[in-house]
Structure 1
Amino acid sequence: MNKKNKVLFKTALLSISLVLTSASAISAIIPMMLNQLSGVSSSLIESVVTIPSFTMMLFVLLSGPISSRLGKKNTVMLGLLLVVIGGILPMFTTNITWILALRLVLGAGLGMFNSLAVSLISDFFEGDERAQLVGFQSAVQGLGSSLATFVAGQLALIDWKFAFLCYAITIPVALLFFFIIPEPERVEPTAERSTGTGHKSGGVSIPVLGLGAALFLFMTFIMIVYTKTGIMIAEKNMPNPGFLGTALTLFSLATMIAGFLFGKIYKWFRNYAPFISSLLTATGFVLLWFAQNVTMVTIAMLIIGFSFALFIPYIFTILTKIVPKGSETISISIAMVGSNLGAFASPYVIKLVGMLFGNETASFSFLVSAIVFTIAALICLGIAIRGKGSKVQAAVHS
């Protein structure tokens, strides 16, 4: 493969990641929906952003068996078709039941190729090039999210329902992937190997489950950036509330920049990357808690967006190293389940925490997240310092 064709191949392979995190692109319309759909509870309307994660979680698990039967390429194409249907059609209704049902279809489509977007990289690339592309994959997610969020925000100025047109970006992505990417060779899972910690390294192992649990907690408390920021701006009567769409776009751009830099950051910090990510995220949430204007909100979201994009590719880089060849898809799927379950559960977990402490304001939820990520940073620092050659630590240094 010559250099020009290789660039085109990588572009097509990474292009499907443009829509992977687009479920939250319409977050800016939540305050508008709250105003227009006055008879619907706020937690249900917030679920318009998070409910795709439920079917994403289910279809991430099903994507392995489906891809075994249909092939990875056909599975991706089917997923992209569902994204077009579930993404765009909500613009034609104001019925919350139909909107949520179609958002479930969107989540199913995204779940079909969520883990494949990473495992396909492992199918075609190895070594440092693979680690670099995993970072790029996270960056492309940030780029796609920022584009979709910006377009959705601009369309929402016309009518909030028009924001769903942002998912039309899926159509050219599907065409590019269809014409450029071949079906990868099938690889049978290799024999399970000893991890050095007494656990086997098959698809479902203690390290894999641990990383999935970490993603669950991470996404549970990171999703409030999308669901609570607009509400917090309204609570504090900040001027220029329409700036939220731009702030969310900048948040996504920060994730893109961090994704492109991940390869170098990973080489510099290795197993300290989660500590740095968690500490920066905690700092961002403290700023959101204190924020009194949209400028401070934007700075906080830039910090959180950047740190968010350091944690996710780190997890998946480690996953692709600690599991046997041929087991990447199921392992990534388990991690994705943790991620999507956390995103889906976020509004309900945050509401429960607010009820327990007698404070359900958006600002308080940011304080809770700041505390959670501070604790996470201390745990990650302890793990990094105490690393004694476990399989995960060995993978980090390999």
Structure 2
Amino acid sequence: MSQKTVNASSWLFKASLLSLSLLAQTAPSISIANTQLAQQFPNVSQSSIELISTLPNFSVLILILFAEAIGNKFGIKRTILFGLGLYTIGGVLPALVSSFPVIIAARLLMGLGIGLFNPYSVSLMYRFYEGQQLKGMLGFQNTAQNLGNAAFGFLLSALIISGWRTAFTGFFVGLIPLILIWLFVTIPDDKGEMAEQAPAKASFKEAVNGHILLLALLFLITFAMFLMMTIKMAVLGQETGLFSPSAASSILALLGLASMVAALLYAPVSKLIGNFILPVSFTGIAAGFFIVANANSVATVTTGVVIAGIFFGWVFPQAFLRVAQVGPKNGGTLTTSVILMGINLGAAFAAPMVNAVAGLFGMSSVTGVLSLVGIGFTVLAIIEYIYNFFDRKPKN
């Protein structure tokens, strides 16, 4: 198959490719059902209930590093479609069962699906686009990710009213990118003429260098902390009596919308302040967490969530722009997978990690945990300001 058969500049191709990102952050959104799940399974600990929302991020780690090898063997498009099928089946299955272990297994299955298609949601952009067009697509990718998160949040806010089982049926959204990718995306095989013309891929040592590992660690910490906003929102409403689980889902949907709007501005802001966009983002996120932690009204909570969401909208595209800056040119899906592995590792263990650290400082209440996260982002911002001030190397 020739590269000429692919019209990567068409809006339909771009929209179908971006549809993969719609699902990227939907798995943890089911945390709004935590209070109902706790009532359904009274013998299960609160930490185990909270783990349901992040469990898919754990099983993502099993396949994410092998997604490229699986794609090379069976075809990238087939791998993506199979992953989307696993996501949908694993996402909806809990609505049909009453066994907590089966729900756990279904969530793990869902994560395996994400591990197959998620690396390609970014690496295919490196394959089809470059320069300012790549920057734009990375911004759109984060926009699509937050649009999916916001839309899914509003959907769950309606579904949760009918119970936690109905909420899980929301994961039928996996059919949207499955149909779009199947019908409108052509991905040339890494064979024949195309393989002969392509530069040699970087070795494992080059693709996974020290800079990439440090970036993976940075975004592991970032996502572990930020996800606490999602995990704790329903519990915050319950403990403070300020809002219901349905309202919590709507508030979190606004977080996604705020991030989506911010992501649309990523390319011009990045051009204006360069890599300082990351410490600025951390500063804004910290402010948002402090506002939510000290809020005494729904309006104040919503304000803090929106502020955190706006600045978080620049984190994800900046993560992969940094990859393009410090990673090898031909690192391929492997380099992207390492970053995604850090992100998903942080997301998978967000609750136990952050709760454990909060316990050490005697900040185990919901507001205490959110305040601790605000302090954590403040520390990251200071480190990033110092790093970028002294790092004057030109960025391509």
Question: TM-score, normalization: structure 2?
Answer: 0.93
Please give the secondary structure, in 1, of the residue aligned with 2:10: helix
Is residue 341 of structure 1 aligned with residue 351 of structure 2? no
1:72 Cα deviation from its structure 2 partner: 1.4
Q: Which residue of 1 aligns with 2:146?
A: 142
Number of residue pairs aligned between Structure 1 and Structure 2: 386
What is the letter of the counterpart of residue 104 of structure 1? L
Measure the CA separation in 2 of the matches of 1:176 and 1:169. 12
Measure the CA separation in 2 of the matches of 1:370 and 1:205. 30
Relative to structure 1, the CA distance from residue 380 to residue 92 in structure 2 (aligned partners, 3 Å threshold; closer, same or farther) is same
What is the letter of the counterpart of residue 385 of structure 2? L
Does the 8 Å CA contact 1:56/1:109 hold for their aligned counterparts? yes
Identity of aligned residues (%): 28
Does the 8 Å CA contact 1:189/1:325 hold for their aligned counterparts? no
Measure the CA separation in 1 of the matches of 2:39 and 2:314. 36
Q: Which residue of 2 aligns with 1:197?
A: none
Q: Which residue of 2 aligns with 1:112?
A: 116
- C-alpha offsets along residues 207-255 of structure 1, whole Å, 9 cap, x if unaligned? 1111101110001111111111221222222255541111011111112
What is the letter of the counterpart of residue 215 of structure 2? L
Relative to structure 1, the CA distance from residue 88 to residue 256 in structure 2 (aligned partners, 3 Å threshold; closer, same or farther) is same
Does the 8 Å CA contact 2:202/2:331 hold for their aligned counterparts? no
Relative to structure 1, the CA distance from residue 184 to residue 111 in structure 2 (aligned partners, 3 Å threshold; closer, same or farther) is same
Trace 1:201-280 onto structure 2 (pairs within 5 A).
Answer: 202-239=206-243, 242-280=246-284
Measure the CA separation in 1 of the matches of 2:71 and 2:381. 37
Trace 1:1-398 onto structure 2 (pairs within 5 A).
Answer: 6-186=10-190, 190=200, 202-239=206-243, 242-389=246-393, 394-395=394-395, 398=396
Please give the secondary structure, in 2, of the residue aligned with 1:202: helix
Measure the CA separation in 1 of the matches of 2:341 and 2:7. 36
Does the 8 Å CA contact 1:190/1:324 hold for their aligned counterparts? no
Structure 1 range deviating more: 133-142 or 24-33: 24-33
Does the 8 Å CA contact 1:319/1:328 hold for their aligned counterparts? no
Does the 8 Å CA contact 2:213/2:338 hold for their aligned counterparts? yes
Measure the CA separation in 2 of the matches of 1:73 and 1:192. 23
Please give the secondary structure, in 2, of the residue aligned with 1:115: helix
Measure the CA separation in 2 of the matches of 1:303 and 1:47. 26
Please give the secondary structure, in 2, of the residue aligned with 1:359: coil
Relative to structure 1, the CA distance from residue 239 to residue 18 in structure 2 (aligned partners, 3 Å threshold; closer, same or farther) is closer
Structure 1 range deviating more: 87-96 or 200-209: 200-209
1:192 Cα deviation from its structure 2 partner: 5.6
Relative to structure 1, the CA distance from residue 344 to residue 192 in structure 2 (aligned partners, 3 Å threshold; closer, same or farther) is closer
- C-alpha offsets along residues 166-215 of structure 1, whole Å, 9 cap, x if unaligned? 1112113211111111123525663769xxxxxx9821111111110111
Does the 8 Å CA contact 1:124/1:184 hold for their aligned counterparts? no
Measure the CA separation in 2 of the matches of 1:4 and 1:346. 37
1:300 Cα deviation from its structure 2 partner: 1.0
Measure the CA separation in 1 of the matches of 2:245 and 2:96. 26
Measure the CA separation in 2 of the matches of 1:318 and 1:359. 34
Does the 8 Å CA contact 1:149/1:248 hold for their aligned counterparts? yes
Measure the CA separation in 1 of the matches of 2:205 and 2:285. 31
Measure the CA separation in 2 of the matches of 1:27 and 1:353. 21
Structure 1 range deviating more: 211-220 or 323-332: 323-332
What is the letter of the counterpart of residue 306 of structure 1? I
1:321 Cα deviation from its structure 2 partner: 3.9
Relative to structure 1, the CA distance from residue 82 to residue 161 in structure 2 (aligned partners, 3 Å threshold; closer, same or farther) is same
